[in-house]
Amino acid sequence: MTHLTRSQLDELLQGLRDQAARIAQELPAADLADAIAGEAEALEHRISANDADYFHNEVVAIMHSVWAVETEEGHE
């Protein structure tokens, strides 16, 4: 399978942000991280090795933006 370009990846991540916002409205806070991680995991096979860290960092940022996970003190 062909991996996504960075531009395509950014579009996919925007879709994940939108989806995370909807998930945050529908699920209890305790379930948010697992639900978002599941959505991200379904996309991982499309991410090139060079973009894996970028993808992971963006998914974490998305989780923070909907309060699915808390920022550890000193690790912002």
- Contacts of residue 32, defined as CB under 8 A and 6 or more positions apart, other chains included, come to 20, 23, 24, 63, 66, 67, 68
Stated pTM of the model: 0.83
Using alpha carbons only, how large is the chain's radius of gyration in Å? 13
Please, which residues have CB within 8 angstroms of residue 59's CB and are 6 or more apart in sequence?
A: 13, 16, 36, 37, 40
Q: For position 72, what pLDDT does the model report?
A: 60
User: What is the C-alpha to C-alpha distance for residues 41 and 14, in angstroms, rounded to an integer?
Assistant: 15
Are 69 and 63 in contact by the 8 Å Cβ rule? The answer is: yes
Taking only the tens place, the pLDDT of each residue in 63-76 is 998 887 766 655 44
pLDDT tens, 15-54? 999 999 999 999 998 899 999 999 999 999 999 999 999 9
In the prediction, which pLDDT does 73 show? 55
